[in-house]
Amino acid sequence: MSVDSLLDDIQELNLSYLLLAQKLLREDPVTAMFRLKLSPQTADLVAELSPKQLVQLSRTRQLLCRMVLDDAEQLARLTQGQREQGLGQIHAALLMSAVAPVGVSAG
């Protein structure tokens, strides 16, 4: 896979993420901030971006979204455990809810 192809994929993912974030923020800001791990200030900025600004921001060479489960042990527990389907989803939600938004301390 070429570098240009990977950068195109990143741009596409970024734009999809930003469009989803805007939709969630407009429908239910409080839940969206919780699910996206955004501060109120960042949420307001993302919600107010114009289509042109969304496209410009999506063209960055870095992913705008990040893996919330960056603790390998937590990720292993979620992917290797033998849980019933419903319990696995609840467990994942509990683990991810404990992660603070970027720039906000958890305690």
Which sequence spans correspond to the domains of the chain?
A: 1-66, 68-99
Q: What is the pLDDT along the chain (107 residues), one digit of tens a residue?
A: 788 899 999 999 999 999 999 999 999 999 999 999 999 999 999 999 999 999 999 999 999 998 777 778 877 877 776 655 566 666 666 666 666 665 554 44
**Confidence (pLDDT) at 85:** 58
- CA distance linking residue 24 with residue 91, whole number of Å: 22
Backbone Cα Rg of the chain: 16
DSSP H helical ranges for the chain: 3-27, 29-36, 40-47, 51-58, 72-80, 85-97
Asked whether the beta carbons of 88 and 78 are under 8 A apart, the reply is yes
Q: What would the two tokens of residue 12 be?
A: 């596409």
**Confidence (pLDDT) at 83:** 56
Q: pTM for this structure?
A: 0.71
**Confidence (pLDDT) at 70:** 73
Q: What is the overall mean pLDDT for the chain?
A: 84
1-66, superfamily in CATH? Answer: Flagellar transcriptional activator FlhD (1.10.4000.10)
Asked whether the beta carbons of 95 and 74 are under 8 A apart, the reply is yes
**Confidence (pLDDT) at 106:** 45
- Of 80, 74, 72, the closest CA to residue 96 belongs to 74
CA-to-CA separations, 105 to 44, 69, 101, in angstroms, rounded: 20, 16, 8
